[in-house]
Structure 1
Amino acid sequence: MGISILAGPASKDMAKGIADTLADKDEHVRLVDVDLRVFPDGESKIRIADAIDGDDVVVVQSTHPPVDAHMMQLFFILSKVSRVASRTVSVVPYLGYARQDREFLAGEVVSIDAIAKIISSYAIDALITFDAHSSLALSYFTVPVHNISAVPLLAEYFKKRLAGEGVEAKDVLSISPDAGGADRAEALADMLHCNSIALRKSRDRITGAIKIDHEMLSKMRDDLKGKVAIVVDDMISTGSSVAEAVRALLEHGCKRVYVACTHALMLDGALERIKEGGASDVVATNTVPNRVSKIVDVAPLAASAVLSILSTSSASSKVGMECSSSSNSSNSESRGRGSRGSISTT
């Protein structure tokens, strides 16, 4: 029995990175391709290229745009793997629908609840993702979820880059584009040994236009003057909020502004919009493959989490076999309650 890393259609490079990392630690690791065929009517067919029966299987499939297509592909793969694998770990670098985590308007479907129910219905041992948009979204899953932060990787990247540019920590600011991301900006600031600021923004309910609170920044002009700012967020979609933040920071005295995120969706000309706002560079991880996501690689973190899950699961299985004769009835009752899965954040 070995470890098979399944390369979903959305994450071929990520799967290879995880497989390469694991192969250095275990000679029984192999990369298995997943073939996708799309028919003229839009339906698709998934085929796993090699036999995986009895293996520990790691399904690597991100659900970035086109989200619905990539999500359906994930469901198809899990439906097959969960029936034949010894143990199954699902690596979903970018978890789509995590922003739809509550009923904002009467009658709205809580989309991530539906997604979580489907994924949790398969016999998988754990789900691994990166910087999920909210802990509420993860609470809908009834399988263990490992939510890994990519902020340490972004911090390491900027430590090296800023040192190479001769920028000292006292001249750096970690910026959240809104109050909701304040903790993330503070975490980056702690790692870079600099200060952090959470901007205040508002959105016009009619036009959707983003406005940054310039009055707040005006009062902080002395703190901003000559600084190198890093605007950090979990994801960038259209880039409107980030572009406005960059523009405002430069207007109020920052010397240079970088933009960093875990998930660079980069929709509707986002990169050009951010660059036009004055950003010196945009840096992202490779959870979503595109031209700004080739620098910060999360594959080693995913591989480490996979090893931890499989080793823990193996130990638990041995204990479970020793105790099964005395606890089968209680375990059966517990499985029937549909309790929430555990969530770990690293």
Structure 2
Amino acid sequence: MFVVATSFSNGIAAKLAEKLGARLVRAEEKTFPDGESYLRIPEKLEGTTLIVHSLYAPQDVAYMKLLMAIDAAKGAGADRVVVAIPYVAYARQDKRFLEGEPITVSIVLRGLETAGADALVTVDIHQPRSLDEWLSIPHVNVLPVKELADYFRVKLGQGVVLAPDKGALHRAEEAAKVLGLSYDYLEKTRDRVTGEVAISPKEIDVSGKNVLIIDDIISTGGTIALAARSMLKMGAANVYVACTHALLVKGALDRIYHEGVKEAAATDSVPSPISKVSVAEAILRGLQQIKEAI
């Protein structure tokens, strides 16, 4: 097996190559004076090739380079090209919210298959059902919850795990099982007189306990900041935050730390100052799941 690293692999390709005992091939890349991208795979490939390539900013460039890498791998002799995408950009537009809008996740996914991808592993994609809806090739979505939970195991102690909303409850449940703790999700309520928004666990009492809030993405940090402030007001001892994808736009870190978050940790799916856990093991699990299909 060959593992291809690109400028959007963020070190994950090298980690996977080591774990798989595979040869690491570094793509050659440059930008032409007119702004167009160039990518070349400088070695002859054969058998199965894994391309590790995330779609963080600049997302448009990242996506074009991924398509080029897939085509280049096939041209270099790869019989099968498996693509691992630690962060899938454009995945949140998974339906037409307004008339005339595109469904961008469908464009991204169908483009990969058209370019020649034979299988796909994604990490904590916004809606895993999008993979079933738009792909005909083997695919799997993996969650790095175990790795994130283990990172906070000692610091959390006999605490609780919370999801920021009901939709993220499955992530909190999985983390809680890893840690042997209780879990819950946060509910928002609005005061009919003042309009003030309050947030609290649906059932669990957090008083005197360490709290881990776990989510897929931290973007502006607004949701996490509100949750942290609310948990501390309710008597939580410490609030920790974990996420898969730390996009961290518009001063997100300042916002959440200002509200009392003790520590925030994320994976390396996107380069960030809080990337403390690798998705390599999660991707490896995904590769094992689709091994028979490829």
Q: 2:178 aligns with which of 191, 197, 207?
A: 191
Q: 2:68 aligns with which of 60, 76, 86?
A: 76
What's the counterpart of residue 58 of structure 1? 50
In the TM superposition, what whole-angstrom CA distance separates every residue of 1:227-252 from its partner, at most 9, and x where no partner exists? Answer: 11111001111111111111111112
Higher fraction of helix: 1
Q: Is the 8 A contact 1:212 1:244 kept in 2?
A: no
Structure 2: gaps of 5 or more residues: 191-195
Structure 1: gaps of 5 or more residues: 24-28, 204-210, 315-346
Q: Is the 8 A contact 1:224 1:253 kept in 2?
A: yes
> For residues 271 and 286 of structure 1, do their structure 2 counterparts lie closer, same or farther at Cα, with a shift above 3 Å needed?
same
What's the counterpart of residue 158 of structure 1? 152
Aligned length: 288
Q: 1:181 aligns with which of 168, 177, 180?
A: 168
> For residues 309 and 182 of structure 1, do their structure 2 counterparts lie closer, same or farther at Cα, with a shift above 3 Å needed?
closer
Letter of the structure 2 residue corresponding to residue 113 of structure 1 = S
What's the counterpart of residue 115 of structure 1? 108
> For residues 224 and 306 of structure 1, do their structure 2 counterparts lie closer, same or farther at Cα, with a shift above 3 Å needed?
closer
TM-score under structure 1 normalisation? 0.77
Letter of the structure 2 residue corresponding to residue 280 of structure 1 = K
Report the secondary structure of 1:200's partner residue. Answer: strand
Letter of the structure 2 residue corresponding to residue 191 of structure 1 = V
Q: 1:130 aligns with which of 119, 123, 127?
A: 123
Q: Is the 8 A contact 1:199 1:212 kept in 2?
A: no
Matched, 1:251 2:233: yes
Report the secondary structure of 2:7's partner residue. Answer: coil
CA displacement at 1:151 relative to structure 2: 0.9
> For residues 212 and 179 of structure 1, do their structure 2 counterparts lie closer, same or farther at Cα, with a shift above 3 Å needed?
farther
Q: Is the 8 A contact 2:140 2:289 kept in 1?
A: no
CA displacement at 1:112 relative to structure 2: 0.5
Q: 1:141 aligns with which of 132, 135, 140?
A: 135
Could you tell me the percent identity over the aligned residues?
35
> For residues 69 and 308 of structure 1, do their structure 2 counterparts lie closer, same or farther at Cα, with a shift above 3 Å needed?
same
CA displacement at 1:160 relative to structure 2: 3.6
CA distance in 2, matches of 1:268, 1:309: 38
Structure of higher CA gyration radius: 1
Higher fraction of strand: 2
CA displacement at 1:313 relative to structure 2: 4.7
> For residues 306 and 189 of structure 1, do their structure 2 counterparts lie closer, same or farther at Cα, with a shift above 3 Å needed?
closer
* Residues 262-277 of structure 1 aligned to structure 2 (within 5 Å): 262-277=244-259
CA distance in 2, matches of 1:199, 1:303: 32
CA distance in 1, matches of 2:63, 2:226: 31
What's the counterpart of residue 193 of structure 2? none
CA displacement at 1:202 relative to structure 2: 7.7
CA distance in 1, matches of 2:177, 2:290: 28
Letter of the structure 1 residue corresponding to residue 80 of structure 2 = R
Report the secondary structure of 1:199's partner residue. Answer: strand
Matched, 1:213 2:208: no
Matched, 1:227 2:209: yes
> For residues 290 and 123 of structure 1, do their structure 2 counterparts lie closer, same or farther at Cα, with a shift above 3 Å needed?
same
Q: Is the 8 A contact 1:82 1:122 kept in 2?
A: no
Q: Is the 8 A contact 2:50 2:81 kept in 1?
A: yes
Report the secondary structure of 1:183's partner residue. Answer: helix
Q: Is the 8 A contact 2:10 2:268 kept in 1?
A: no
> For residues 275 and 301 of structure 1, do their structure 2 counterparts lie closer, same or farther at Cα, with a shift above 3 Å needed?
same
Report the secondary structure of 1:121's partner residue. Answer: helix
Q: Is the 8 A contact 1:182 1:197 kept in 2?
A: yes
What's the counterpart of residue 20 of structure 2? 22
CA distance in 2, matches of 1:273, 1:49: 44
CA displacement at 1:304 relative to structure 2: 4.4
